[in-house]
Amino acid sequence: MKGRFIVLEGIDGCGKTTQLEHLVRWLPSAGLMPDAAELLRTREPGGTSLGLSVRELLLHTAADDAPAPVAELLLYAADRSQHVETLIRPALERGDWVISDRFSGSTQAYQGYGRGLNRSLIEQLEQIATGGLQPDLTLLLELPLEESLRRRRGEAADRIEAEGQAFLGRVGEGFADMAKQRGWFRVDAAGAPEDVSQRLEQVLLEQLGE
Ligand code: T5A
C-alpha cells in the first residue's frame, strides 16, 4: 500500500473525536505526508453511506428491536467490510492517508472482552471483513473509566454505552491486552486536550517520520 492507515482506539469518552479533529488539522502540515497525498478522516461504525444505516441499527434501535450479540458482531463486520473495500483500501492504493476513529480492535474489545463472544471467531471474521488489511499505526487513548464517565456526563448514552460500568471495565482491559499483543502505542489521555495532542504528535513523528 502506498498510503498510510492510522487508527485511534479506546473506551467511550476517552477523547478520540477531540483528538482526531486536532490531528486532521495538524497532520497535513507536519512534514510526514507526501505533498500529493490527501488525508481522509473516517470512523467505525458509519464510515460509508451503507455504514451509516448499519450504525443506526447498531446504536439507536429501540430496546425490543436491538440486535442479539452475534447479530451485533456480524453488523460491525459488515460495516467494516464495506468501509475497507469501498473507502480505505482504494484511498491507500491511491497513496492517500486515512485516519479512523476505531477499527477492528474495537470489535475484539467490545464484542470479545465486553460481551464474551468467542475471540477466535472474532479474529476469523476480522480477517474476512478486512481482507487482511491492518493499520500502519494504532494509537490507544488510555483513560480511567471513572474519568471517561465524568467526561461523558450529560451526554445521551447510545445502546453500547448504556451497557454499564462492568461491561466498559472489561472493554478497557481488552484494549490493554490488545495493545500488548498487537504492538499498539498506548497514549495517556488524561489532562488537557492540548497535552494529549502533543503526546500523539510525538508518537506520529517518531513512528511515521523518515
Ligand atoms: N463499537 C464500535 C463496538 O461495540 N464494536 C465495534 O467494532 C466498533 C467499531 C461507537 C460505539 O460502538 C461501539 C463502541 C462505541 O460504544 P461512537 O458514537 O462512535 O460509538 O462513540 P465513541 O467512539 O465511543 O465516541 P465518544 O464520542 O463517546 O467518545 P470519544 O470520541 O472518545 O470522546 P470525545 O472526544 O467525544 O470526548 C468526550 C467528551 O470529553 C470531552 C469532550 O469535549 C467531550 O465532551 N473531552 C475532554 N475533557 C477534558 N479533557 C480532555 N482532554 C478531553 N478530551 C475530550
Q: Report, as an integer, the average pLDDT of 51-64.
A: 93
Predicted pLDDT of residue 82: 98
| Residue type at position 132 | G
Q: Report, as an integer, the average pLDDT of 119-148.
A: 97
Predicted pLDDT of residue 62: 87
What's the N-to-C CA distance of the chain in angstroms?
17
Instruction: Tell which one of 9, 17, 72 to mutate to probe ligand 1, the residue whose CB is within 8 A of the most ligand atoms.
Output: 17
Decide: pTM greater than 0.95.
yes
Predicted pLDDT of residue 78: 98
Return the ∠ at Cα 143 (arms to 137 and 147), rounded to 5°. Answer: 155
Query: Comparing 47-61, 87-101, 146-160, which segment has the lowest mean pLDDT?
Result: 146-160
Predicted pLDDT of residue 10: 98
Which is the closest atom of ligand 1 to the Cα of 110? 4
- Give the residue with greater pLDDT, 210 vs 47: 47
Predicted pLDDT of residue 205: 97
What confidence category does residue 84 fall into, taking pLDDT thresholds of 50, 70 and 90? very high
Q: Report, as an integer, the average pLDDT of 119-145.
A: 97
Predicted pLDDT of residue 159: 81
Torsion of CA 56, 57, 60, 65, to 10 degrees: 160
Using a 10 angstrom Cβ sphere, with 0-12 exposed, 13-18 middle and 19 or more buried, the burial of residue 113 is buried
Ligand 1 geometric centre to CA of 195 (Å): 18
C-alpha distances (whole Å) from 19 to each of 49, 62, 99, 179, 194 are 24, 31, 11, 19, 9
- Nearest-CA residue for atom 4 of ligand 1: 110
Ligand 1 geometric centre to CA of 68 (Å): 23
| Residue type at position 104 | S
Residue 155 above 90 pLDDT? no
Return the ∠ at Cα 139 (arms to 98 and 179), rounded to 5°. Answer: 130
Predicted pLDDT of residue 156: 80
User: Which residue do the cell numbers 474495537 mark?
Assistant: 106
Ligand 1 geometric centre to CA of 210 (Å): 31
Task: Please give the Cα distance from 101 to 152 (Å, whole number).
Answer: 17
Question: 3-class SS at 123?
Answer: helix
What is the per-residue pLDDT across 92-130, written as a single tens digit (0 to 9) for each? 999 999 999 999 999 999 999 999 999 999 999 999 999
What is the per-residue pLDDT across 160-201, written as a single tens digit (0 to 9) for each? 778 889 999 999 999 999 999 999 999 999 999 999 999 999
- Nearest-CA residue for atom 33 of ligand 1: 15
- How confident is the prediction for the chain on average, in pLDDT? 96
- Nearest-CA residue for atom 13 of ligand 1: 160
Ligand 1 geometric centre to CA of 16 (Å): 6
Task: Please give the Cα distance from 50 to 39 (Å, whole number).
Answer: 21
Which is the closest atom of ligand 1 to the Cα of 10? 32
Ligand 1 geometric centre to CA of 10 (Å): 8
What confidence category does residue 32 fall into, taking pLDDT thresholds of 50, 70 and 90? very high
Pocket of ligand 1 (CB under 6 A): 10, 12-18, 43-45, 59, 76, 101-102, 106-107, 110-111, 151-152, 158, 160-161, 192-193, 196
| Strand extents, DSSP E, 35-148 | 39-43, 97-101, 137-142
Predicted pLDDT of residue 160: 78
Residue 40 above 80 pLDDT? yes
